[in-house]
Amino acid sequence: MPTDPLEIRLAVLDWAGTVIDFGCVAPAGAFVATFAARGVAVTLPEARGPMGLHKKDHLRAMLRTESVGAKWRAATGREWAEADVVELYRDVTPRQVGAAQTYSALVPGATEVVAALRRAGVKIAGTTGYFHEAAAVVAAAAKSQGYAPDFNICADDVPAGRPAPWMVFRCMEALGVYPPAAVLKVGDTVIDIEDGRNAGCWSVGVVDTSNEMGLTEAEFAALPDPEKAVRRRLITDRYLAAGAHGVIGTLTELPGLVRSLNARLASGARPG
C-alpha cells in the first residue's frame, strides 16, 4: 500500500458528453438512424436511456424496453432476436464513426482543466462505451485539440463494459495508481456513476454537457434560466440516486472538486 498521504492521483474521464461532444449527440443520433432504417421510429430519449454501455449492450437494452420492443414488433411482426442485435450493431458501427467525426469538439475548458489536474499531480485516463473504431476517431480528434489522456481504453478491451468496473481497474493498473480511494471517475450518465461505484472509487457526474441533458451547446445556451435550473436539478437527483459522491455542473469545476475530495481523504473519509 502507498505510504504517502492519500490523495486523488488518477481521474478517469468518460469521453462523449464529458470531455468531447457537448450533449453526447453522436452516439444517440446513430442509434436513431439505425433503427429508422428498419422502420422502427425510436426517439432520442429512448436512444439515450442506456448510454454508457458497450454499444452492443446498448442495443439489447433498448430492445428490452417496453416502448422500443413494442415498436420493433409493430415494424417487423416478431420479437427481436440476438441475430437482430448483431445486424443492428453492424449497421450502427459506421454511423457512429461518422457521427464521432462530426461531433468532435472538446467541451469548454477541457484542456485547461486537464492541465490544472496534471499540475496537481493527477494522472488522466479515458474510458468509453465506444468500440475501437469510434474510440480511435474520438481520441484523434481530441489530440488535435490538445487533449490526450495518459491512458485510454474502450469497452472492446475488457470482458464486459459498464457498469462492470474493468475499464477503471485497467486504468489503475496501467498508470500504477491504487487504492481505489485515490481514483476519481467522472462521467455523464448513470451507468458512469455505477461503474465508478463498482470500482470502489469516487464517482462524480457532470450535468450541463451530459447525455442526461441531451442538448447541443447552442440548444443549452438557448434554454431559459428557470428551465436550466429544473433540468439540472432532475439530473443531479438521478446521479445522487445512483450513488454519486458528487455532481458538477461543468468540467471546469473538477479541479475544485479534487481539492475538496483531498480534504475529505485527509480527514479519513473514503468512498462508500
Q: Known catalytic residue: 55?
A: yes
Q: Which residues of 54-73 are buried (b: 16+ CB within 10 A; e: fewer)?
A: bbbbbbbebbeeeebeebbe
User: Which one of the listed residues 55, 56, 123, 185 is annotated catalytic?
Assistant: 55
d(CA 211, CA 21): 10
What type of residue is 189? T
**Contact 176/170 with Cβ under 8 angstroms?**
no
d(CA 157, CA 47): 24
- Joined grid coordinates for residue 101: 467525426
d(CA 4, CA 230): 42
Does an H or E element contain 161, and which?
none
* CA angle (76, 28, 94) in 5-degree steps: 75
Nearest Cα to 28, choosing from 78, 82, 102, 81?
102
List residues with catalytic annotation: 14, 55
